[in-house]
A and B are shown apart, each in its own frame.
Chain A
Amino acid sequence: MITKATFGIWRGDARGGKFENYETRVSEGMVVLDAVHQIQAEQANDLAVRWNCKAGKCGSCSAEVNGNPKLMCMTRLSDLPLGKTTTIEPMRAFPLIRDLVTDVSWNFRVKKQIKKFKPRPPDAPDGTWRIAQEDVDRVQEFRKCIECFLCQDVCHVLREHHLHNEFIGPRYFVYAASLEMHPLDTENRLAELKKTQGIGLCNITKCCTKVCPENITITDNAIIPLKERVVDEFYDPIKKLFRMLKP
Chain B
Amino acid sequence: MAQIETHEYDVLVIGAGGAGLRAAIEASASGLSVGLVCKSLLGKAHTVMAEGGIAASLANVDQRDNWKVHFADTMRGGQYLNNWRMAELHAREAPERVRELEAWGALFDRTKDGRILQRNFGGHKYPRLAHVGDRTGLEMIRTLQDHGIHQGIEVHVECTITTLLKDDTRVAGGFGYDREKGRFKLFHAKAIILATGGIGRAYKITSNSWEYTGDGLALAYQAGADLMDMEFVQFHPTGMVWPPSVQGILVTESVRGEGGILLNKDGRRFMFEDIPELYRNQTADNEEEGWRYTQGDPDARRPPELLTRDHIARCIVREIKEGRASPHGGVYLDISWIKKRLPNAEEIIKKKLPSMYHQFKQLADIDITKEAMEVGPTTHYMMGGVRVDADTQMSTVPGLYAAGECAAGLHGANRLGGNSLSDLLVFGRRAGEHAARFAKEHGAARIDDKRVEEAASAVLKPFEPDGDPRGANPFQVQYDLQEMMQKLVGIVRKEDEMRQAVDELQKLRERAVRVRANGNREYNPGWHTALDLVNLLTVSQMIALAALERKESRGAHFREDYPNKSDTFGKCNIVVRKDADGRMAISRLPTSELRADLKLIVEEMK
Contacts and interface: CB of A to CB of B under 8 A. Distances in A.
Interface of A: 13, 27-31, 34, 40-42, 45-60, 74, 76, 97-99, 101, 103-105, 108, 111-112, 116-117, 119, 122, 127-133, 136, 139-140, 143-144, 146-147, 179, 182-185
Nearest to B98: A128
Nearest to A146: B138
B43 A147 contact: yes
Contacts of B149: 108, 111-112
Contacts of A119: 103, 105
A56 B358 contact: yes
A171 to B, nearest CB: 12
A130 B525 contact: no
A97 B475 contact: no
A78 to B, nearest CB: 9
Contacts of A47: 525
Nearest to B248: A54
Contacts of B473: 41, 45
Contacts of B245: 27, 29-31, 34
Given A29-B244, A45-B517, A76-B363, A136 B49 contact: no
Contact of A46 (B157, B364, B527): B527
16 contacts: A13-B522, A29-B243, A29-B363, A45-B529, A53-B209, A55-B246, A57-B135, A59-B44, A60-B40, A112-B149, A116-B146, A117-B104, A128-B116, A133-B110, A140-B133, A185-B105
**Which 10 residue pairs are nearest across A and B when measured between Cβ atoms?**
A29-B243, A45-B526, A130-B114, A46-B519, A117-B105, A41-B475, A48-B523, A52-B209, A98-B523, A34-B245
A52 B358 CA distance: 18
A53 B49 contact: yes
B362 A46 contact: no
Given A46-B524, A131-B110, A140-B132, A57 B48 contact: yes
Of the candidates B104, B109, B114, the one having the most CB atoms from chain A within 10 angstroms of its own CB is B114
B49 A51 contact: no
B254 to A, nearest CB: 14
B180 interface: yes
A198 to B, nearest CB: 21
A117 B99 CA distance: 15
A222 B142 CA distance: 18
B113 interface: yes
B146 A111 contact: yes
Contacts of A130: 113-115
Interface in B1-59: 40-46, 48-49
B474 interface: yes
A131 B111 CA distance: 9
Given A46-B526, A58-B48, A129 B102 contact: yes
Contacts of A46: 517-520, 524-527
B361 to A, nearest CB: 10
A182 B355 contact: no
Of the candidates A30, A47, A98, the one having the most CB atoms from chain B within 10 angstroms of its own CB is A98
Contact of A74 (B99, B132, B363): B363
B211 interface: yes
Nearest to B150: A116
Interface in B119-165: 132-133, 135, 138-139, 142, 146-147, 149-150, 157
Contacts of B114: 129-132
A47 B524 CA distance: 7
B355 A74 contact: no
Interface of B: 40-46, 48-49, 99, 102-105, 107-110, 113-117, 132-133, 135, 138-139, 142, 146-147, 149-150, 157, 180, 209-211, 242-246, 249-250, 355, 358-359, 362-364, 473-476, 479, 517-520, 522-527, 529
Given A45-B473, A46-B517, A111-B149, A52 B40 contact: yes
Given A34-B245, A54-B249, A58-B44, A45 B474 contact: yes
Contacts of A146: 48, 138
B110 A57 contact: no
A99 B524 CA distance: 10
Given A13-B522, A104-B41, 20 more contacts: A27-B244, A31-B363, A45-B475, A50-B41, A53-B49, A54-B209, A55-B363, A56-B358, A58-B44, A58-B49, A99-B523, A108-B157, A128-B102, A129-B102, A132-B110, A133-B109, A140-B107, A143-B139, A183-B107, A185-B105
A45 B139 contact: no
B147 A116 contact: yes
A72 to B, nearest CB: 12
A56 B517 contact: no
Contacts of B103: 119, 122, 127
B518 A45 contact: yes
Nearest to A133: B110
Contact of B44 (A31, A45, A60): A60
A85 to B, nearest CB: 21
Contacts of A58: 44, 48-49, 209
A128 B99 contact: yes
Contacts of A31: 245-246, 363
Nearest to B45: A52
Nearest to A60: B44
Nearest to A136: B107
A233 B345 CA distance: 43
Given A56-B359, A57-B138, A45 B525 contact: yes
Contacts of B150: 112, 116
A83 to B, nearest CB: 21
Contacts of A49: 525
Of the candidates B44, B139, B157, B180, the one having the most CB atoms from chain A within 10 angstroms of its own CB is B44
Contact of A41 (B107, B135, B476, B517): B476
Contacts of A42: 475
Contacts of A13: 522
Of the candidates B249, B475, B523, the one having the most CB atoms from chain A within 10 angstroms of its own CB is B523
A144 B525 contact: no
Contacts of B359: 55-56
Nearest to B133: A140
B49 A45 contact: no
Contacts of B147: 116-117
A127 to B, nearest CB: 7
Of the candidates A48, A97, A183, the one having the most CB atoms from chain B within 10 angstroms of its own CB is A48
Nearest to B139: A143
Contact of B48 (A40, A53, A97, A127): A53
Contacts of A56: 355, 358-359, 362
Contacts of B525: 40, 45-49
A104 B49 CA distance: 22
Contacts of A184: 105
